[in-house]
Chains A and B, each alone.
Chain A
Amino acid sequence: MGLSLSQRRRLIPWMFAIPGLLWLIVFFAIPLANQASVSLMTGDPEAGYSLTWAFDTYTSAISDYKEQFLRSFLYAGAATVIDLVIAFPLAYFMAYKAGRWRNLMLLLVVLPFFMSYVLRTVSWQLILADNGWVVERLRDVGLVADDGRVLATGTAVIAGIAYNFLPFMVLPLYVALERIDRRFVEAATDLYASRLTAFRKVTLPLAIPGIFAGSLLVFIPACGDFVNAALLGTPRQYMIGNVVQSKFLNVLDYPTAAALSFILMTIILVGIVLYSRLLGTRNLTEAAT
């Protein structure tokens, strides 16, 4: 070997990265480049598509499906907020109070994954059915009008998304909270902070990496989701995922479908950057080390 020991030492970590890099190239970079070129093609399903650098596909995709884009972000955002509100107390309880029940609770959180995503969503059709128990109780307390319904509304779609993605919020929050040394809280109360202040000034800031991770893990896939809108909503509740799905699989308009995907990806990337700025990237990286 023409390499010295120290040179080989430096090369070894890179070798560990090779399988991952190959995976990324074959299953991410190449398809991505391929779809980028597809998005710039013109033609029709009969005659086939060819690359014509048709950037106007993007502008028309935005103007034609502005509504679905907005709805995607609205639904995904609402579901993320709902999940955060539900998951934080749950993760807090599991991390600090559950004791010997902790592992059982963790199992229960991931238990829905043992069942098919579509089946889980279909069962929400029953839960939210017009003459079902839930809707009747909501009518009793006046939250739903006597002739009103929940199924086939935006509420149903948001509820479905929130339900389906809840574990992705709970788990990172749990991990973040569980890692916080309880002595920090003791130190805070020692320094005249009430329990509430100690939570606000110590626990919450230290849980930010978990909040960030959980929000992204819910929001990003929820933006592209089409199952909940398809099963719990109507075309009036369709999200951008439903449009992409129908363009790809039904209309076979590949360039528009690809363009829509790239637009979604770009908006989400910009959104993540803004969100991490909001939570403080310095805090994020430092709290994570």
Chain B
Amino acid sequence: MVANQSLTADAVRESGVGGEPDIRLERVTKRFGDVLVIDDLDLEIERGAFYALLGPSGCGKTTTLRMIGGFELPTAGRVLLGGTEVTNAPPHKRDVNTVFQSYALFPHLTIEKNVAFGLERKGVGKAETRRRVAEALETVQLPHLAKRKPAQLSGGQQQRVALARALVNRPRALLLDEPLGALDLRLRRQLQLELKRIQQEVGITFIHVTHDQEEAMSMADTIAVMNRGRIEQAGTATDLYERPRTEFVAKFLGVSNLVRGTVGQANGELSAVTTHDGATLHAPTNRCAEHAGGAVSVGVRPEKVKLTPAEQPTPDGANVLRGQVVLSSFLGVSLQYVVRTAGGEELIVLAQNADGSLPESLGAGREVQLTWDPRHTFVVAAEDGARA
């Protein structure tokens, strides 16, 4: 196929540049009036990646996407696509396409005409356009709706058309601005899988903006967690979940049990951390080194913790905290406990539902101990004040 050949040719040309990231933001700052929205941001995205920008509303993720698309211009810094600077280029001169949150399908044009819009502007021939439009509608499984108008389609169908309208141009990258935000949960989960499948099929770089951590984790190869106009941490879902580097990331992705403390002596692979109420915990030294002597939060994920009655012996070398069960609830697939520790924190423990009931010995009011493997402990710099 002609198109695939040109795609490969592009890939070859790209690799010739020599490991240059395909999309790059250099020290980008964006202000709206006095409001600092993007704060000295650096971002590099490899060709063919499924890259998620994840963060709460107002963190600057959509603005970042819009600067790549050309809808906003940076106040300072540079935007590069495939090594070429496009910082101030208008959207129609950029080889990227956007799937808008509202879909923004042209209401006066049929689905077919909507999808053909970009190809017609680029001057692609009629026969070629017809063929590629049909192919794109095939990819999103909507060839039978080609002659309809957008208003006659359901939300999920419109979303797929928006995807086809962008994909058909075979852009360098597809920018997805909360593309599933307007859909109900079931449809959203279904389309997540479909998006992932399509991305693997076409091999185009996807940059996906979302505030839904589950969505980001299930789809993206790399997730950048954004907060206050900066990237807090970028990495794989496993990286971010198992080894968060900031308190914000620890809290934004999944549930975190955090206890304030101070990093103490290193002893080989593990270092001691003294909690604010005097208990000693251990964490991998490589996660502690940068915080030596400083105030930190020690954390562990709820499913890594084992809950046992207070009188039972604990395994050697495990981290142990003592506390009292505040709440125990049956969630079906798991059992959830809220435990108030001796230091006053309320920690959450998730236990597998192996026996089909909540054990009496771990009911509300019982004295218990929380134990976990020090390797599952993460350490982040302590932050002042409560944040989401």
Binding site for B on A (CB under 8 A): 181, 183-184, 186-195, 197, 201-202, 205-206, 283, 286-287, 289
Contacts and interface: CB of A to CB of B under 8 A. Distances in A.
Contacts of A286: 107-108, 149, 151
Contact of B108 (A181, A186, A191, A283): A283
Contacts of A287: 107-108
Interface in B63-92: 69-71, 90-92
Nearest to A283: B108
A190 B102 contact: no
B122 A192 contact: yes
B100 A189 contact: no
3 shortest interchain CB distances as A-B pairs:
A191-B118, A192-B121, A187-B104
Contacts of A206: 107-108
Contacts of A186: 71, 91, 98, 100, 104
Contacts of B151: 286, 289
B169 interface: yes
A205 B117 CA distance: 14
Which of B69, B92, B98 gathers most chain A CB within 10 Å? B92
Given A191-B121, A192-B169, A286-B149, A184 B104 contact: yes
A186 B106 CA distance: 11
Interface core residue of B98, B105, B151 (most chain A CB under 10 Å): B98
A287 to B, nearest CB: 6
Q: Which of A187, A190, A286 has the most CB of B within 10 A?
A: A190
A24 to B, nearest CB: 31
B47 interface: no
B91 A190 contact: yes
B69 A184 contact: no
Given A186-B71, A286-B151, A191 B104 contact: no
Given A191-B165, A194-B92, 10 more contacts: A181-B102, A181-B104, A186-B71, A187-B104, A189-B70, A191-B121, A193-B117, A202-B106, A286-B149, A287-B108
Contacts of A205: 108
Contacts of A183: 100, 102, 104
B98 A187 contact: yes
A194 to B, nearest CB: 6
- Considering residues A189, A194, A283, A287, which has the most beta carbons from chain B within 10 angstroms of its beta carbon? A189
Interface in B106-135: 106-108, 117-118, 121-122
Contacts of B100: 183, 186-187
A192 B94 CA distance: 8
23 contacts: A183-B100, A184-B104, A184-B107, A186-B104, A187-B100, A187-B104, A189-B90, A189-B91, A190-B69, A190-B71, A190-B92, A190-B98, A191-B165, A192-B92, A192-B122, A193-B117, A194-B92, A197-B121, A202-B108, A206-B107, A286-B149, A286-B151, A287-B107
B97 interface: yes
A86 B11 CA distance: 51
A287 B107 CA distance: 7
A181 B108 CA distance: 13
A193 B92 contact: yes
B338 to A, nearest CB: 44
Contacts of B122: 192
Interface in B146-198: 149, 151, 165-166, 169
B190 to A, nearest CB: 24
A186 B162 CA distance: 13
B104 A193 contact: no
B189 to A, nearest CB: 26
A16 B149 CA distance: 33
Contacts of B71: 186, 190
A193 to B, nearest CB: 5
B160 to A, nearest CB: 15
B200 to A, nearest CB: 24
Q: In this complex, which of A186, A187, A191, A201 has the most chain B Cβ atoms within 10 angstroms of its Cβ? A: A191
Contacts of A191: 92, 97, 117-118, 121, 165-166, 169
A286 B107 CA distance: 8
B30 to A, nearest CB: 17
Contacts of B104: 181, 183-184, 186-187
Contacts of A197: 121
A168 B116 CA distance: 37
Contacts of A202: 106, 108
B85 to A, nearest CB: 19
A281 to B, nearest CB: 13
Contacts of B108: 202, 205-206, 283, 286-287
B102 A189 contact: no
A239 B70 CA distance: 55
Given A191-B117, A192-B122, A184 B106 contact: yes
A189 B92 contact: yes
A289 B152 CA distance: 11
Contacts of A194: 90, 92
A96 to B, nearest CB: 15
A4 B323 CA distance: 65
A187 B102 CA distance: 10
Contacts of A181: 102, 104
A47 B74 CA distance: 85
Chain A CB count within 10 A is highest, among B105, B107, B166, for B107
Which of A192, A206, A283 gathers the greatest number of chain B CB atoms within 10 Å? A192
B152 to A, nearest CB: 10
